Amino acid sequence: MAYQVLARKWRPKTFADLVGQEHVVKALRNALEKGRLHHAYLLTGTRGVGKTTIARILAKSLNCEHPKEGEPCGQCQSCRDIDTGRFVDLLEIDAASNTGIDNIREVLENAQYAPTAGKYKVYIIDEVHMLSKSAFNAMLKTLEEPPEHVKFILATTDPHKVPVTVLSRCLQFVLHNMTTQQVADHLAHVLDSEQIPYEPPALALLGRAAAGSMRDALSLLDQAIAMGSGKVAEQDVRQMIGAVDKRYLYELLQSIAGQNGAALMNQAREMAERAVGFDNALSELALLLQRIALLQTVPAAVPADDPEYPALKHLAAQLGGEQIQLYYQCAIHGKQDLGLAPDEYAGFVMTLLRMLAFAPLAAPPQHTGAQIDGSGLHTPSAAPAKQTPSENLPAFQTASPDTAPDQTATATSDDDTPPWQESAVNMPQTQLSDSLHPLEEDRPSEQTSDQTATTATSDDDTPPWQEPAANAPQTRLSDGLHPSEDDRPSEHTLPASPVAWQLEESAPFDDIPPADEYAYYGDDILPPLPQGEGMETGETGHEEGEDEGENADDFAPLPELNAANWHTVIKRLGKRLGAAQMLADHMAWTEDDTAANRILFALNGNSQTTTTKEYFDKISQTLADAYNRPGLSIQTQAWQDGAGWETPAMRRIRLQHEGREEARGRLENDPACRRLMAGLEAAGWEAESLQLAENLEN
C-alpha cells in the first residue's frame, strides 16, 4: 500500500477529533442536535486551521443515518462514502479553478434536483473569494431562498474580498489559529500512535514554525521524520527550520547580564559563521526573555520538569524585572530594524550593544561618558593621563615651602584616580599664606580659613584673572609654573602689588580666555571648593558634584513612599510630574491609608493658584506607576496650624534659614574672620549671601 502523508492520514473524521475550534464545534453540534440548521455557512481562517475538515464533518453529520448528539457515526454507508470521496450528493468546488459564471450556473441548475443517496445536497465551495463578480451575482438569489434539500458551505482565507451581500446571507464562523502547545500535543499524540521516537523540544519548535496551522505542522513532522531517519530529534529540527540553538541564546543573555562585551561579540561572530538567521535569533531571544519574565512573575506557569527550567531560573535570578522588559523591547525593535540596517549582522550587533548600554530605572547608575565594564569597545589606558591646565590659563601656587613635599606626594597618589571620582574622593586642601592666620590651633576649621583667605586676597592688587588659580590644588598645576623659593614674598606680609616673577610669568590680556571659554577645560581644571575637616567626603556641595548627583539619582531606586521621604519623592519624580510638581511642593503628607489605597495631604494657602484636578490626577497616576499601587487616590484636608505638617516648599525655606544662621555663627566664631571684619570696619555679614555648602542640594 502506498504511503499516505500524515496530514491526510490524521485528518479528523468527527468533531471530537478536532484540535481547537471549540466555539465552532459547540455551535454546530447544538444546531445539528436541535435541528436548527442554516442553509449557508461561511468558514473563514488562515491556511490549515480546519475549514475544509469541518465542512466535510458537517456534510457527514447532515447525511448520517445514525447521528448521535450531532456527531456522525462513521459506520453508515453515507459516512463511508463521504470519507472515500464517492458520495454523489456532496460536491466540492475549488473556486480558484472554477471562477466563471458558467461553472456556478451549472451548480445552481443541478441544485434544483432532489438528493440521490442522502438527506441533503451539500455544496462545499473552497476559496470562495476567488469567484468573479458575475458568479457572485448569480449565487445571490439561490443563497437567499435555496431549496430545502440544499446546504452551502463556503470557505475562504480572505473574507474581505467576499461581497457583503453574500456575507449577509451566510452564517459566518471565524476559525482561530492553534496555539503552539495545542500543535505540540497533537504531534505527540500522532507520534505515539505511529510509534516513532521523538524529543519534546523538537515538537515545540515544529509548533512555533507552523504558526498555528495544523496542516503545516504535520507536513513539517513528515519532513523531520525523514531527516531524522525514523525519529524526531531537536538538533535535526533546528537545522531543518533554521531555528537558533538555545545555547547561543543563553550565552548571549549571560554576557549581557555580566556586561561582558567581548564575549558578546565573540558569540555574535560564531553565530554569523554558522549562518544563523538573525531574524529568527531575535525572535527566539524575545521568546526566551518572555519565559524568564513569566518565571519571575508567575513561577508556577513554568513547570519544574521543563528541561530548560534550571537555565531559566539562573537567568531570572541575575536579571531584574525592569532589565528583562527593556531587553525584550530591544529585541523586538531590533527585529523591526533589521530591514533598515546595512546588513543583518550589523543590525543584530547593534541590538546587542543597545541591550549592553541601556539600563532601566532601578539598575545601578552608570556615569555619563563612562565605558561599560568589559565591553572591550576600546582599550582604556592603564592609568588615565594627568590633566594639566592650558598654557593660556595662568595659575600660580602660594603654598608655603614646608608643605611642598607633602603636596607632591599627594599629587602623585591622586593621579590614578578616575576623573569621574575626583569630586567624591578627599580633595587636597588649599594651602593658605601664614600671614592670613596665626598658629594652626587658633583655627576652628580649615573651611572658614579658606573663606577668609579668599576674601583677603581679593583686596590686594593681584589681577582678577589669577584669583581662581590662587586656590587651585597642587595636583592641577604644572611644575614649570612654580616660582623659585627666593622670589616668594615674605611669609608675614601681603604684597601690595604683583612681584616681579608674577609680572614676568603673567599672560597678557590678549591671551586670557574669556569667561565662557572655561567650559572647554572641563571640571577637573577649575579649582574645587574648599572642604572642611569636619565635613564628610560626600558633602562637597559644589555645583558640578550636585549635577552629577542628580544624574545618578535618576538611576537609583526610589525611596520609600512615606512622610519623611515626601520631599525626596517629589524631587526624584519631578520630570514625570511636570507642571504638577508646583502643586506637590505645597502638599504636606498627613496619612497613608493603605487599606483604602489612599494618601491624605493638607494644602497650605500658597497652593491656590496650582490646585487643579488635572494636577491631582497627574500626581496620583505618577505615584501609582512608580510604586506599583494601581488605583491609588489622593484626598486633601484643611490645613491645621500647629499640627506639625510641613510641605516640601516650607522645608526648603526652613533649611535655608537654618543654614544661614549656622554659616553666620561659624564666620563670627572664626578669629581670622573677626580680624578681617575689624580691618575692613565692616558692620556685618550680608545675610542673603550666606549659605552652607553642605545644604546646597537641599
Candidate ranges 348-352, 533-537, 637-641, 647-651; pick with highest mean pLDDT: 348-352
pLDDT at 275: 82
Pairing of strands 598-603, 90-94: unpaired
Residue 529 has pLDDT above 70, yes or no: no
For residue range 156-189, what is the model confidence (pLDDT) as tens digits? 999 999 999 899 999 999 999 999 899 999 999 9
pLDDT at 349: 93
Q: Which residue has the higher pLDDT, 518 or 142?
A: 142
CATH 1.10.8.60 in the chain: give the residue spans.
Answer: 180-241
- DSSP class of residue 369 equals T
Measured torsion, CA atoms of residues 38, 42, 44, 50, in degrees rounded to the nearest 10 = 70
Q: Are 157 and 47 in contact (CB under 8 A)?
A: yes
Render the burial of 194-233: b for 16+ CB within 10 Å, e for the rest.
eeeebbebbbbbbbbbbebbbbbbbbbbeebbeebeeebb
Q: What band does 540 get if pLDDT is binned at 50, 70 and 90?
A: very low
Q: Rounded mean pLDDT of 312-317? A: 90
pLDDT at 667: 80
Please give the Cα distance from 530 to 601 (Å, whole number).
41
pLDDT at 450: 45
All three cell numbers of 606: 500658597
Residue 98 has pLDDT above 50, yes or no: yes
pLDDT at 607: 64
CATH 3.40.50.300 in the chain: give the residue spans.
Answer: 6-174
Q: Rounded mean pLDDT of 282-305? A: 89
Q: What band does 577 get if pLDDT is binned at 50, 70 and 90?
A: confident
Of 382, 381, 378, which is closest to residue 262 (Cα–Cα)?
Answer: 378
Q: What band does 290 get if pLDDT is binned at 50, 70 and 90?
A: very high
Q: What band does 536 get if pLDDT is binned at 50, 70 and 90?
A: very low
| Domain 273-357 -> CATH class | mainly alpha
pLDDT at 351: 94
For residue 647, the tally of other CB atoms under 10 A from its CB is 24
For residue 6, the tally of other CB atoms under 10 A from its CB is 20
Q: Are 78 and 65 in contact (CB under 8 A)?
A: yes
- DSSP class of residue 638 equals -
Candidate ranges 72-86, 282-296, 472-486; pick with highest mean pLDDT: 282-296
All three cell numbers of 173: 464562523
Predicted TM-score (pTM) of this structure: 0.49
- Between the alpha carbon of residue 332 and those of residues 267, 290, 328, 329, 348, the distances in Å are 20, 11, 6, 5, 11
Q: Are 289 and 403 in contact (CB under 8 A)?
A: no
Pairing of strands 121-126, 90-94: parallel
pLDDT at 551: 54
Residue 360 has pLDDT above 90, yes or no: no
Residue 374 has pLDDT above 90, yes or no: no
Please give the Cα distance from 683 to 524 (Å, whole number).
37
For residue 178, the tally of other CB atoms under 10 A from its CB is 24
Q: Are 15 and 141 in contact (CB under 8 A)?
A: no
Q: Rounded mean pLDDT of 109-124? A: 87
Please give the Cα distance from 140 to 210 (Å, whole number).
37
Q: In this structure, what are the phi and psi dihedrals at residue 135, rounded to the nearest 5 degrees?
A: -65, -40
pLDDT at 696: 53
Q: What band does 501 get if pLDDT is binned at 50, 70 and 90?
A: very low
Residue 532 has pLDDT above 90, yes or no: no
pLDDT at 307: 78
Please give the Cα distance from 391 to 398 (Å, whole number).
18
Bridge-partner residues for 151, per DSSP? 122
**One-letter amino acid of 32:** L
User: CATH homologous superfamily of domain 6-174?
Assistant: P-loop containing nucleotide triphosphate hydrolases (3.40.50.300)
Of 419, 300, 296, which is closest to residue 368 (Cα–Cα)?
Answer: 419
Q: For 407-439, what is the HEC assignment?
A: HHHHHHHHCCCCHHHCCCCCCCCCCCCHHHCCC
Q: Rounded mean pLDDT of 376-386? A: 44
Q: For 302-324, what is the HEC assignment?
A: CCCCCCCHHHHHHHHHHCCHHHH
Q: What is the DSSP string of 200-244?
A: HHHHHHHHHHHTT-HHHHHHHHHHHHHHTTSSB-HHHHHHHHTPP
Q: Which residue has the higher pLDDT, 220 or 684?
A: 220
Sheet (strand 150-156) strand order: 90-94, 121-126, 150-156, 40-44, 171-174
Please give the Cα distance from 622 to 628 (Å, whole number).
10
Q: Are 120 and 148 in contact (CB under 8 A)?
A: no
Q: Are 394 and 503 in contact (CB under 8 A)?
A: no
pLDDT at 218: 92
Residue 678 has pLDDT above 50, yes or no: yes
Please give the Cα distance from 104 to 100 (Å, whole number).
7
pLDDT at 645: 84
455 contact partners, CB below 8 Å, separation of at least 6: 676
Tally the residues of the chain: 698
Residue in this structure with the C-alpha cell 531555528, named with its chain if needed: 243
- Between the alpha carbon of residue 529 and those of residues 26, 395, 426, 524, 670, the distances in Å are 80, 16, 12, 12, 19
CA 204 to chain centre: 28
pLDDT at 288: 92
Q: In this structure, what are the phi and psi dihedrals at residue 93, rounded to the nearest 5 degrees?
A: -120, 130
Of 408, 548, 388, which is closest to residue 478 (Cα–Cα)?
Answer: 388
Q: Which residue has the higher pLDDT, 678 or 28?
A: 28
Q: What is the DSSP string of 10-73?
A: T--SSGGG--S-HHHHHHHHHHHHHT---SEEEEE-STTSSHHHHHHHHHHHHH-SS-BTTB--
pLDDT at 386: 42
All three cell numbers of 343: 546588513
Please give the Cα distance from 684 to 664 (Å, whole number).
9
CATH 1.20.272.10 in the chain: give the residue spans.
Answer: 273-357
301 contact partners, CB below 8 Å, separation of at least 6: 294, 295
All three cell numbers of 300: 508556577
Q: What band does 518 get if pLDDT is binned at 50, 70 and 90?
A: very low
Of 389, 387, 412, 400, which is closest to residue 469 (Cα–Cα)?
Answer: 389
Half-sphere exposure of 672 (CA within 13 A, CB side): 25
Residue 395 has pLDDT above 90, yes or no: no
Q: What band does 594 get if pLDDT is binned at 50, 70 and 90?
A: confident
Lowest mean pLDDT among 9-23, 603-617, 665-679: 603-617
Please give the Cα distance from 250 to 311 (Å, whole number).
8
271 contact partners, CB below 8 Å, separation of at least 6: 244, 248, 278, 281, 348
For residue range 207-223, what is the model confidence (pLDDT) as tens digits? 888 888 999 999 999 99
pLDDT at 608: 64
**What is the fold, at CATH topology level, of the domain defined by 180-241?**
Helicase, Ruva Protein; domain 3 (1.10.8)
Please give the Cα distance from 371 to 367 (Å, whole number).
9
Residue ranges in 458-493 assigned as alpha helix (H): 467-470
Residue 545 has pLDDT above 50, yes or no: no
Q: Rounded mean pLDDT of 268-273? A: 90
Please give the Cα distance from 47 to 219 (Å, whole number).
13
Q: Rounded mean pLDDT of 665-693? A: 78
For residue range 444-471, what is the model confidence (pLDDT) as tens digits? 444 444 444 344 344 444 444 444 444 4
Residue 477 has pLDDT above 90, yes or no: no
> What is the H or E stretch that residue 664 is in?
helix 648-669
